[in-house]
Amino acid sequence: MNFPIFFGHFQNDLQNISSAVAFAFDQYRHNLLNTMKSFDEMIDRMDEIDKQTNFQFCVTHSDIKFVAANYPLYWEANEIVFSSIIKPSELQLSYAILPPLTSGSSSYWEYYSKLNEASSKSSYDVSAYNSLTQLIIHLTRDWTYDGSSVRKALYFAHIIPRTLNALPPSLGSPRILIPGAGTGRLALELLSLGYQVEINECSATMMSFLHTLCHAVLPNASQYTFYPYLHYPLTDDWDLKKRESTSLFPYCDDSPSLQQYLSTSTVFSSLSVQYGDFVKVYGMNAGYRLNSFDGIITNFFIDTGRNIFDYLTTIQQLLKHDGMWLNIGPLHYHHKNAIPYSLKHLLEIIKDFGFHTISYETVSTSYCGEENITMKPEYYHVPIHVFRLNKISKTKKDHANPQNSSLSDAPFKRPNYKILN
Ligand SMILES: C[S@@+](CC[C@H](N)C(=O)[O-])C[C@H]1O[C@@H](n2cnc3c(N)ncnc32)[C@H](O)[C@@H]1O
């Protein structure tokens, strides 16, 4: 099996990735220390109740204490598994500004001076998705049995069929870009169906995980168990004991095509992985990737940016004329300085960028199948749009509805309000 190449862009990436990964473990530890503190308080209260009342809660309370007493063991087991998988020191990053997916150039140093210039402007920015907790959530979603209902709802029932329909792989192995690819399951599914796939990801932890997954775990058919639910707050539990259950990964039984691909393929190299911020990485030298993707799939990604216009501009530049953009996910805007456009307004803006809607549907799903453990799963009703890009489409002004022109031309008055005593 040929491995995918992982690309970094700045000379200090590796050092930053190591620091970010160390921080990711600390964030997880912080999370679990809070849980242990809650257990301590809970045990104090239970002891008090046992002393003060005549009721016999001892069996229930000792059951809870048993879980609490073993929690550090489960935590330690996770530390051991994840520190054996997330090893930034083993990352082999090729430094480049976007070498072509498969077009043959290996001149990574070609743009060295430009890269140095960009590097001096780069700052060490830890992604909100960097923590080990986020990795465990995304790993559960993508690579465990517990996440299979979510994959079925999103990947197998919607994203993959829509992609196959809009961009049949028989059309010369279309090139697909997946920005914010998380732990990479969708990318590998598409690879197994004959697409050339490029992943972009800015979380150092996800990136390090992906590296081991592609270079060691999948090629060696290794399997690992871990405790996926330790980080949940001690509320809304169906049954505290479920926290003691383990998950196995990678779980691929729900995908015959991926299983088949992993057992026979020697073309893993048609996967390319670009580490870094989507807008920075592709904006820095858009020339390499300008008009080069047949499809872009944004899966729970479009709401992660500070500025949605940067995302839309980048997507529009990278996609070929008539290319497909499939967007799936809520508008759960992550940054304060993002404008929280509603779907209706966002669709108007998307249209102004030259995208035409081919299909629209919605799907309801939890984020990582966590409804089995918590009564408060992260649950979404998500729109799924397939767009086609018309690069020669009308400009923003042409799109303005003449009937609304008096509305849009009128000077805007900020609303005036005051709180009455
Ligand atoms: C909500 S998660 C979704 C992950 C994956 N697409 C999925 O559906 O499982 C968003 C992902 O986008 C990544 N991300 C956020 N902002 C990014 C950016 N500016 N550039 C690249 N990746 C980004 C995060 O690290 C995270 O993995």
User: pLDDT tens for residues 188-216?
Assistant: 999 999 999 999 999 999 999 999 999 99
Alpha carbons 283 and 315: distance in angstroms, whole number: 10
Predicted confidence (pLDDT) at residue 113 exceeds the cutoff of 70: no
H or E element that contains 80: helix 58-85
8 Å CB contact between 97 and 115: yes
Q: Does residue 123 sit in helix, strand or coil?
A: coil
CA of 210 from ligand 1 middle (Å) equals 13
Rounded distance from Cα 166 to ligand 1 centre (Å) = 24
Query: What does pTM read for this prediction?
Result: 0.90
- In degrees, rounded to 5, the angle at the alpha carbon of residue 49 between the alpha carbons of residues 46 and 51 is 110
pLDDT (0 to 100) of residue 268: 78
Closest CA to 179 of 302, 329, 357: 302
Name which residue sits closest to atom 13 of ligand 1, judged by CA. Answer: 180
Q: Give Cα 323 distance to the centre of its chain.
A: 22
Torsions phi, psi of 176, nearest 5?
-125, 140
**pLDDT higher than threshold 70 for residue 99:** no
Weakest mean pLDDT among 153-157, 176-180, 394-398 = 394-398
367 Cβ closer than 6 Å to some ligand 1 atom: no
Q: State residue 412's pLDDT score.
A: 80
Q: Which residue CA neighbors atom 12 of ligand 1 most closely?
A: 180
Q: Is the CB of 82 under 6 A from ligand 1?
A: no
pLDDT in the model for residue 59? 85
Q: Does residue 104 surpass a pLDDT of 50?
A: no
Long-range contacts of 117-124 (CB under 8 A, 24+ apart): 118/9, 118/10, 118/280, 118/284, 119/9, 119/10, 119/11, 119/12, 122/10, 122/12, 122/280, 124/12, 124/16, 124/19, 124/20
Q: Which atom of ligand 1 is nearest to the CA of 278?
A: 20
Query: Any idea which of 46-60, 117-131, 321-335, 365-379 has the lowest mean pLDDT?
Result: 117-131
Query: Does any ligand 1 atom lie closer than 6 A to the CB of residue 146?
Result: no
Give the per-residue pLDDT at 63.
94
pLDDT bin (cut points 50, 70, 90) of residue 308 is: very high
Count CB-CB contacts under 10 A for residue 353.
19
Mutation to probe ligand 1, out of 137, 202, 274, 284 (largest number of atoms < 8 A from CB): 202
Portion of the chain with pLDDT greater than 90, in percent:
67
- Please work out whether the CB of residue 95 comes within 6 Å of at least one atom of ligand 1: no
Say if CB 192 and CB 176 are below 8 A apart: no
Q: Is the pLDDT of residue 219 over 50?
A: yes
Return the closest-CA partner of residue 270 out of 218, 213, 197. 197
Query: Tokens 């997507």 identify what position?
Result: 315
pLDDT band at 164 (very low <50, low <70, confident <90, very high): very high
Average pLDDT, the chain: 87
Does ligand 1 come within 6 angstroms of the Cβ of 127? yes
Q: What is the pLDDT of residue 128?
A: 82
* 16 Cβ below 6 A of ligand 1: no
Omega within 30 of 0 (cis) for the link into 72: no
Dist. CA 198–CA 188, nearest whole Å? 10
Name which of 118-132, 223-237, 347-361 the model is least confident about: 118-132
> For residue 78, what are the CA distances in angstroms to 92, 229, 235, 406?
24, 11, 22, 61
Residue whose CA lies nearest to ligand 1 atom number 5: 182
- Which ligand 1 atom sits nearest the alpha carbon of residue 182? 27
Output the pLDDT for position 79.
Answer: 97
Q: Would the CB of 282 count as within 6 Å of ligand 1?
A: no
pLDDT digits (tens, 9 = 90+) for 240-274: 999 999 999 999 999 999 999 999 876 677 899 99
Tokens of 12: 């200090």
Q: Which atom of ligand 1 is nearest to the CA of 128?
A: 25
Mutation to probe ligand 1, out of 13, 125, 127 (largest number of atoms < 8 A from CB): 127
Q: In this predicted structure, what is the pLDDT of residue 57?
A: 81
Q: Does pLDDT of 115 surpass 50?
A: no
Q: Which of 34, 66, 64 is nearest to 237 (CA)?
A: 64
Specify the pLDDT at position 98.
61
Rounded to 10 degrees, what is the CA torsion of 275, 128, 142, 322?
A: -60
Dump pLDDT digits (tens) for 143-162: 999 999 999 999 999 999 99
Nearest to 348 by CA among 361, 360, 357, 340: 357
User: What number is the average pLDDT over the span 371-378?
Assistant: 95
**From the CA of 331, how far away is ligand 1's center (Å)?**
13
Give yes or no for residue 45 having a pLDDT over 80.
yes
Do the Cβ atoms of 97 and 9 come closer than 8 Å?
yes
| 206 CB within 6 A, ligand 1 | yes
User: Distances in Å between the alpha carbon of 216 and those of 212, 254, 376?
Assistant: 5, 21, 35
Report strand pairing: 224-226 vs 93-95.
unpaired
Q: Give yes or no for residue 421 having a pLDDT over 60.
A: yes
Question: Which amino acid would we find at residue 232?
Answer: Y
